[in-house]
Structure formats: C-alpha cells, structure tokens
Amino acid sequence: MKILLVADIHANWPALQAINETFDACLVLGDIVDYGTDPGPCVDWVRRHATFAIRGNHDHAVVQSVEARGGSGLKGLAAVTRPLQRQLLDKSQLKYLSRLPVTQSFCLDNLNFLLVHATPRDPLDEYLPNEVGAWREVLHSVDADIVCVGHTHIPFELNVDGIRVINPGSVGQPRDGDARCAYAVIENRQVHFRRVEYDIDLTVAQMRETGMEPWVVNLAESMLRTGGKPTVGSQYPASK
C-alpha cells in the first residue's frame, strides 16, 4: 500500500498542484488554509483526495473567526491574510473545514495510525522539536504504531519506544531552508521524504491579484523563496 502524507498546505495551490503521486490512501495533517491567498482549490483537493484529514490550528482559527494579532513575520502575515480566507471560501468549503476532527485514529495496512496536527497532548498548538526525549513525554499513553503530525513545517521521522512519529514537512510554506514543496510517502512500511519544485512566481502573482499590500506580498515571497527565512526589509511595517 502507498500512503501519501501532506501537511501545512496553507492556501498555496501551485505548491499542492506540484505533487504528482499515485496513492492508495491520502492523509492530510491540517493547516489547509491561512498565510496564502488561494484556499478554495486547496480545500477542494483535500475533499476529493483525503482518505483521512484533520484540523490544524489555522483551519480552526479561520472557521471560528479567531482574529490574528499583528506583529512581525508570520503573525503579521496571518493578521492580514486570515480575513481574506472567509471571503474566498464558499459555505460548503467552510463547513468542510469546520467538521474536520482534531484527531483521527484508524487502522490502515495493518498499522494503527494516529493523526494529530501538533501533539497528542495539545492537538492544535504545541510545538515540539524533533527529539526523542521531547516526544517520549507526550506519547506515554498513546496506542499507535505511527503518529503523523505537522505544525512545525520541518520534515522528520523519530522512533520513540516503538512508535514512529512522522512529519512530512510543509507543502505550502517550508521552514527548513528548502523552498521546494515537502511531503512524504509510506510504501511497504518505509517512509520516503520527497521534495518537488513548484512555481513560486505563480503563488506570488496570485497574492498580488487579491490586492494584498506590497509589504505582505514581499514578506510571503521572501519566506517562500528562502524556505522560511524572511530577508531584512520584508517584515511587518512599524506603522501597522
């Protein structure tokens, strides 16, 4: 069985489109929307292809109309792109996001899976480093062979006392210094981390077409082109 793992799409449709994989099952690990400005096609793709999907903190914030507070970097980006998500998503797409569970447990290919966007202890918001010691603390009561997570935008695999923790990285906003779309495939019980180039110019052009202020587009473009490291001058303006 070939299982596709995708996480943290963040409304980046050109990045999601670049994934060209056949698969028997698709697991989506949250944060389909926010940060980017093309959420509709991303939600529709997940609706069509996901065998199992869960809610991320940004999906939750969009459907619950949680206002993002401005600041530098990502906080500033979320503050200005989040209101646009509800304008660009139709009622059925918002309803789909609102009905996504926070966690999913199931058996696939004779393996017990747990899907959670952040951690089992705090499914939406907790950040943990890719260190066995940190994960051991939150997995002590988990009954699963494989725990699939997102949230950090950093791909990794850990073996924690027999439980495999897999983060495929981010489709739409990598933060490991590699600008390419990140995802993973589990095939014959082996994990393969994959990267694929996509048209960043198209993503940036789409942002401009929505009427985003130049500083917003510049910040997003900087993060996309550097794999998560905004350059000097691309931060949230002091006057905002």
Q: What is the pTM of this model?
A: 0.94
Share of the chain above pLDDT 70, in %: 94
Which residues have C-beta within 8 Å of that of residue 32, sequence separation ≥ 6? 9, 10, 11, 39, 42, 43, 46, 53, 56, 58, 59, 97
**pLDDT for residue 69 is more than 60:** yes
Instruction: Pick the closest to residue 228 from 167, 152, 164, 165 (CA basis).
Output: 152
**pLDDT for residue 203 is more than 50:** yes
pLDDT band at 76 (very low <50, low <70, confident <90, very high): confident
pLDDT band at 230 (very low <50, low <70, confident <90, very high): low
**pLDDT for residue 152 is more than 50:** yes
Instruction: Pick the closest to residue 52 from 26, 23, 22 (CA basis).
Output: 26
Q: Span 156-179, mean pLDDT?
A: 97
Contact present, 59 and 89 (Cβ < 8 Å): no
- At 139 the pLDDT is 96
Which residues have C-beta within 8 Å of that of residue 239, sequence separation ≥ 6? none
**pLDDT for residue 196 is more than 50:** yes
What are the C-alpha distances in Å from 57 to residues 30, 161, 224? 8, 28, 20
pLDDT band at 232 (very low <50, low <70, confident <90, very high): very low
**Model confidence over 11-39: pLDDT tens digits?**
999 999 999 999 999 999 999 999 999 99
For each of the domains in the chain, give its residue range(s) and CATH number, in order of start.
2-101+170-226 (3.60.21.10)
Contact present, 30 and 117 (Cβ < 8 Å): yes
Is 72 or 123 the better-scoring residue by pLDDT?
Answer: 123
Q: Span 213-225, mean pLDDT?
A: 94
- At 70 the pLDDT is 67
Ordered DSSP codes for 56-102: -HHHHHHHTTPPPPP-SHHHHHHHHHHHHHHHHS-HHHHHHHHT--S
Q: Which two tokens stand for residue 169?
A: 């990285």
- At 231 the pLDDT is 54
pLDDT band at 184 (very low <50, low <70, confident <90, very high): very high
pLDDT averaged over every residue in the chain: 93
Contact present, 187 and 2 (Cβ < 8 Å): yes
Q: Span 51-61, mean pLDDT?
A: 98
